[in-house]
Structure 1
Amino acid sequence: MSGVGSDLDTARRRLRDGMARGVLSFPLTSFLDDGSLDPDGCRAQLAAQLATSPGAVFPACGTGEFFSLAEDEYRTVVTLAVEEAGGRLPVVAGIGYGWAQALRFARIAEDAGADALLVLPHYLVAAPQEGLVRQLERIAAGTRLPLVAYQRGQVAYTADSLRRLARIPNVIGLKDGHSDLDRLQRLTLAAPDGFLFFNGAATAEIQARAYATVGVPAYSSAVHAYAPEIATAFFTALRDGDDATAGELLRAFYVPLVELRDRVPGYAVSLVKAAARLRGRPVGPVRAPLTDPSAADLADLKALLTTGLDLVGAAL
């Protein structure tokens, strides 16, 4: 085991430092054509992403199709991430569903050596704020690992709830997928010093500049899973105040990518896998209920990817 998870201050510091250093990497989970898990493909995908020095790696989360993984597959995916990371950067594994099932995954991640956990939105039901807080309390009580809460879909915390979450010893941060900057500003002001926030919107680069204005410059990047050259160039441009480069990448690549993504539900993951395949990555197809892109959409994706890579001096 890495040992980092037993030291909350160390885990928080490593994540904070990683978030300042680079994008947060959410690797794909590789499947074979028959739908079975492909461990060799997973390892290759992880190695390719880690070679570009992201700030942290988040296996088995939304982009990694957590929702489709059996527990033994989840164990393999997280274990591979820990092995490939080798202690060089934090490994934050996804967990989710109701609190009881989330804890089953949490214990697997603990055994595999993960450093922290990202708590994905719970399954199906809407819930009041009291229930949302109790959900995190139950999960936190059952694991020694640090937790990052993820608000998206039916999960959205108020400032009062955020204060309660921050008092739970091993809840160290929040990933936001709502892009409600008014709400997010209230949350950042309610949080204690050292509490971590990052932008987890779909295609987070689109809103990265806006998030930074409310004190949340860190973000996850799905583009990093298939074009780390583009993702790194955009991150560097933002960090260095290079508005011209950031603006050109937004206009020519990211905005058209979002327009393509919005054509079909589930394309936020399906297009990422398709783009990785276009670049020769052994990631395989998506699992149901997701579907792979149509031939026409795939052709548009290839043209767009070529444009983006040309902008940063890389080849398809």
Structure 2
Amino acid sequence: MLPSGLMSFPLTPFTPTDELNPSVFADHIEDQLAHGPAALFVACGTGEYSSLSAPEYAEVVRHAVRVVAGRAPVYAGAGGGLGNARAAVAAASDAGADGILLLPPYLVGGTEDGYLAYVESVARAARLPVLVYRRGLARIGVSTALRLLSVPQVAGIKEGDGDLDSMARMVTAVRTSGHPRAGTFAFLNGLPTAEVSATACRAIGIRDYSSAVLCFAPDIARAFHTALTTGDTATTGRLLADFYLPLTALRDQVPGYAVSLVKAGARLRSIDVGHVRAPLVDAAPDHVDQLKDLLARGRRALAEATGGGAGSPVTEGADAELAPGQDAPAVAVAS
């Protein structure tokens, strides 16, 4: 069963010469662990799975498992062509991963029956629980979700399509199916900048989500999650208006910014994760400046929403770049 809570999707750092950077990756993992994620998902979308060679992928997963050392579950991405997906699953298992996030197949689409066969083939190669990512070419409707209940290795579904009507019907169908796994089958909100859809997803029974913001503004991400789970709508509303919605507008200006802006934000946090790999492009300097301004606005909004107000430590430090592991001073979130 997938642990419940806020999920971390760490970045994959590269050196200026385009090599993996294990020391920065270790620092980044430690920084994420300091903020209590329920699980870490490495070499996935934010971790640029599609750009990694097979040896690089194995190194990323091995290094993550070694650094985490059992403090949280480590899931690894796998996907693309069937042969590549099965090979990645085997490598992740050998590296000691706790589970797999099955990313969509590459280029070639098919029917729901065809995608189910893809999942079953990958799952048979896995000795680990598999979370299936519903996005793009990964076609999963209500009937397919019900059939996935009978694939023992499949632990749940990560939603990335944004069709909440379909997901509501899917969650209800699974939970009322009478299947022995109906109550433990996991649903995870994996939409880009998932905080924007978190309230809507909770209303249809999807409580947990992945947070890219956790990679570069963990103080904001953790405060939002706490406010969401305690029903503090004043704080969630303020953070959505002042930070998350403008962030999504900036993200949507350039394809691939769902990763590029996250790396830019990590660099603002003094974590030298390096560039993104082609075909992604690094965030433009003016967009990085806008991101820095948004982070300051987000921290001011957090301070004011939680009673810090002008002149509080959070507000005063809003324009400062934070070192790895260093959040703005903690503030109590109203329940």
- The bucket for the TM-score relative to the shorter chain is over 0.9
In the alignment of these two chains, the number of paired residues is: 299
Determine the structure 2 residue equivalent to 1:180.
163
Deviation at 1:172, TM superposition (A): 0.8
111-120 vs 98-107, greater mean Cα deviation: 98-107
The yes-or-no answer on 1:92 pairing with 2:112 is no
Deviation at 1:131, TM superposition (A): 0.3
Determine the structure 2 residue equivalent to 1:7.
none
Determine the structure 2 residue equivalent to 1:309.
299
Q: TM-score, normalised by structure 1?
A: 0.92
Q: TM-score, normalised by structure 2?
A: 0.87
The yes-or-no answer on 1:267 pairing with 2:267 is no
Determine the structure 2 residue equivalent to 1:281.
271
Contact kept in structure 1, 2:193 and 2:211, CA below 8 Å: yes
- What SS does structure 1 have at the residue aligned with 2:94? helix
**What residue identity is the alignment partner of 1:69?**
L
Task: Give, in whole Å, the separation in 2 of the partners of 1:55 and 1:311.
Answer: 26
Within the candidate set 58, 72, 75, 2:41 is matched to 58
Aligned-pair identity (%): 46
- Deviations along 1:203-227, one digit per CA (max 9) or x if unpaired, are 0000000000100010000000111
Determine the structure 2 residue equivalent to 1:154.
137
Task: Give, in whole Å, the separation in 2 of the partners of 1:156 and 1:209.
Answer: 24
Contact kept in structure 1, 2:260 and 2:282, CA below 8 Å: yes
- Deviations along 1:55-90, one digit per CA (max 9) or x if unpaired, are 100000000000000111111111121112211211
Task: Give, in whole Å, the separation in 2 of the partners of 1:205 and 1:83.
Answer: 30
Unaligned 5+ runs, structure 1: 1-11
The yes-or-no answer on 1:293 pairing with 2:283 is yes
Task: Give, in whole Å, the separation in 1 of the partners of 2:135 and 2:211.
Answer: 16
Determine the structure 2 residue equivalent to 1:215.
205
Within the candidate set 221, 231, 251, 1:231 is matched to 221
25-34 vs 299-308, greater mean Cα deviation: 299-308
Task: Give, in whole Å, the separation in 2 of the partners of 1:66 and 1:180.
Answer: 24
Task: Give, in whole Å, the separation in 2 of the partners of 1:239 and 1:70.
Answer: 39
Determine the structure 2 residue equivalent to 1:107.
90
Task: Give, in whole Å, the separation in 2 of the partners of 1:92 and 1:261.
Answer: 25
Task: Give, in whole Å, the separation in 2 of the partners of 1:117 and 1:166.
Answer: 16
- What SS does structure 2 have at the residue aligned with 1:79? helix
Task: Give, in whole Å, the separation in 1 of the partners of 2:29 and 2:63.
Answer: 8
Task: Give, in whole Å, the separation in 2 of the partners of 1:138 and 1:63.
Answer: 25
The aligned runs of 1:16-55 (5 Å cut-off) are 16=3, 19=4, 22-55=5-38
Task: Give, in whole Å, the separation in 1 of the partners of 2:116 and 2:172.
Answer: 18
Deviation at 1:310, TM superposition (A): 3.1
Task: Give, in whole Å, the separation in 2 of the partners of 1:26 and 1:311.
Answer: 25
- What SS does structure 1 have at the residue aligned with 2:149? helix
**What residue identity is the alignment partner of 1:62?**
G
Task: Give, in whole Å, the separation in 1 of the partners of 2:48 and 2:107.
Answer: 17
Deviation at 1:170, TM superposition (A): 0.7
Contact kept in structure 2, 1:44 and 1:282, CA below 8 Å: no
The aligned runs of 1:115-126 (5 Å cut-off) are 115-126=98-109
Determine the structure 1 residue equivalent to 2:326.
none
Task: Give, in whole Å, the separation in 1 of the partners of 2:64 and 2:235.
Answer: 32
Contact kept in structure 2, 1:153 and 1:178, CA below 8 Å: yes
Task: Give, in whole Å, the separation in 2 of the partners of 1:44 and 1:71.
Answer: 23
**What residue identity is the alignment partner of 1:29?**
T
- What SS does structure 2 have at the residue aligned with 1:173? strand
- If each structure's helix is expressed as a fraction of its own residues, which one has the higher value? 1
Contact kept in structure 2, 1:158 and 1:187, CA below 8 Å: yes
Deviation at 1:270, TM superposition (A): 0.1
Contact kept in structure 2, 1:176 and 1:201, CA below 8 Å: yes
- Aligned Cα RMSD in Å? 1.1
Contact kept in structure 2, 1:82 and 1:114, CA below 8 Å: yes
**What residue identity is the alignment partner of 2:76?**
A
Determine the structure 2 residue equivalent to 1:165.
148
List 4+ stretches of structure 1 deviating above 2 A.
309-316
Within the candidate set 216, 231, 249, 2:239 is matched to 249
Determine the structure 1 residue equivalent to 2:51.
68
Task: Give, in whole Å, the separation in 1 of the partners of 2:59 and 2:299.
Answer: 32
Contact kept in structure 2, 1:110 and 1:145, CA below 8 Å: yes
